[in-house]
Structure 1
C-alpha cells in the first residue's frame, strides 16, 4: 500500500506521517508534496482560475503515480479538487473524510466541531451538516477561544491544551462526537481526559485511504 499526500502547510506532513505509521504503514510507503503556493492562490480568489485548476490536477496526478490513494490534507483546495473527476487513483479530501467519520460515529447524536480560525466556521458547518443529514445528528461548530492567536504566537503546548479543554467541555455538555477541524489539532487528542477521544482529519483520512486497498 502506497499513499501520497498533498499538503499546503509544512507542519501537516509530520501530523499525517505520524498517523500513517500508527496505522501500520512504513515511511517508505508514503510520499509527500508541500505546496503552500496553491493555498495562497486560492486565498487570492483564484479557486476557479483555469491555470490553478490545471496546476492542482498536474500535482495530484504526479502524486498518484505508483500510489494507491492520494490524500489532500488542505481543505482550502477542496473545491478545486472536486472540480476534477478523472483521477488515476482515489483522491481523498481529509476534511470530507473527517465529516463522514463524525457522521458515522455519531449514530444520530450531537456532533461538535472545534475550529481555531473564525473564517473556517461556516465552511465546516456546511460540510459536517451535509454528511450528518442521513443520521439526523445535530452539528455545532465552535471556535476555540484564543487558540489561533496562541498558535500564531508559537506556543504550541498552550494551544493544544486549549483545544483539549474545549473538547472536554463539549463532551461534558452532551456531545457524542467531537471533531478537530484542523489537522494540526490532532495532538490535542492525547491531552483529553476520559474514555472518549476526538476525531481528527489525519486518522480519518488514513482510514479512508486504507479502505481503497
Structure 2
C-alpha cells in the first residue's frame, strides 16, 4: 500500500517512519510531504479558517491522485481531511480520528494534552463527535510553554515538558492520557506513571485495519 502523509512539521517525518517500523509496516510505501506554511497560517489567523481548511483539502486531494491512502498528520488542520474525503477517490484520514475513538472507550477520566493552542478547539470538536463510553469524562489541557520550546528547536525540552504534564495528570487520577499532536509522540517513552496514547500509532493501525 502507498500511504502519503501530509505533515506540517518536518520532524514528524521521522516520527511516522519510526512508528511504521515499530509496527512492522516495512511492506508498505510511505511518502512524506511537509507543508509547515499551512500550520503557520492557522497560527497567524488564531485558528483554522475556512480558507486554510479549503487550501489544505486541495493539497490532500492532489496527493490522493498518486496514493492508496492519504494521512493528514496535523491536528490543527484535521477537519480538512473530512472535507477532502468527500470527493477523493481514495481514503483521506486524519491521524487523530482513531486516537479519539480509542481514548473515548475509556470508562473514566480522559485527559487530552495539546502543545499549541490552535489544536485545542479542533481536538475538542473531534472528541465530541466520536462514540464514547457512558462513564468517559474528557478534559483538554494545554501544556503551557511547550510549543515555544518546539519552535526554538529544543525537541528534548519539548518532549520532557509534555512527559511531565502527562505524569502530572496520571497522578491526579487520569485513567487515559492522550497526546493530541503527532509531534508529542516521543514523550510517551519518557513518562514514569503510565503510557499515553499517541496519534501516529493509533492512526497507522486504523489505516491498515
Q: TM-score range by the shorter chain?
A: 0.7 to 0.9
Q: Which residue of the partner structure matches residue 96 of structure 2?
A: 95
Q: Which residue of the partner structure matches residue 20 of structure 1?
A: 20
Matches within 5 A, 1:58-77: 58-65=58-65, 67-77=67-77
Gaps of 5+ in 2: none
Distance 1:171 1:57, change over 3 A: closer
Q: Which residue of the partner structure matches residue 48 of structure 1?
A: 50
Q: Distance in 1 between matches of 2:143 and 2:131?
A: 22
Matches within 5 A, 1:1-213: 1-26=1-26, 29-42=29-42, 47-49=49-51, 53=54, 56-65=56-65, 67-84=67-84, 85-104=86-105, 106=106, 108-131=107-130, 133-194=132-193, 196-211=194-209
Taking structure 2 as the reference length, what is the TM-score of the superposition?
A: 0.84
Q: Distance in 2 between matches of 1:138 and 1:78?
A: 22
Q: Distance in 1 between matches of 2:197 and 2:64?
A: 26
Question: C-alpha displacement at 1:14, in angstroms?
Answer: 1.3
Q: Distance in 2 between matches of 1:192 and 1:44?
A: 32
Q: Is the 8 A contact 1:17 1:27 kept in 2?
A: no
Question: C-alpha displacement at 1:186, in angstroms?
Answer: 0.5
Question: C-alpha displacement at 1:40, in angstroms?
Answer: 4.3
Q: Is the 8 A contact 2:110 2:137 kept in 1?
A: yes
What is the RMSD computed on CA atoms of the aligned residues? 2.5
Q: Is the 8 A contact 2:103 2:176 kept in 1?
A: yes
Taking structure 1 as the reference length, what is the TM-score of the superposition?
A: 0.83
Deviations 1:81-102 (A, max 9, x none): 3223022111110122221121
Q: Distance in 1 between matches of 2:69 and 2:178?
A: 23
Q: Distance in 2 between matches of 1:61 and 1:207?
A: 22
Gaps of 5+ in 1: none
Q: Is the 8 A contact 2:4 2:30 kept in 1?
A: yes
Q: Is the 8 A contact 1:47 1:79 kept in 2?
A: no
Distance 1:20 1:116, change over 3 A: same
Question: C-alpha displacement at 1:22, in angstroms?
Answer: 1.2
Distance 1:17 1:80, change over 3 A: same
User: Which structure has the highest helix share of the two?
Assistant: 1
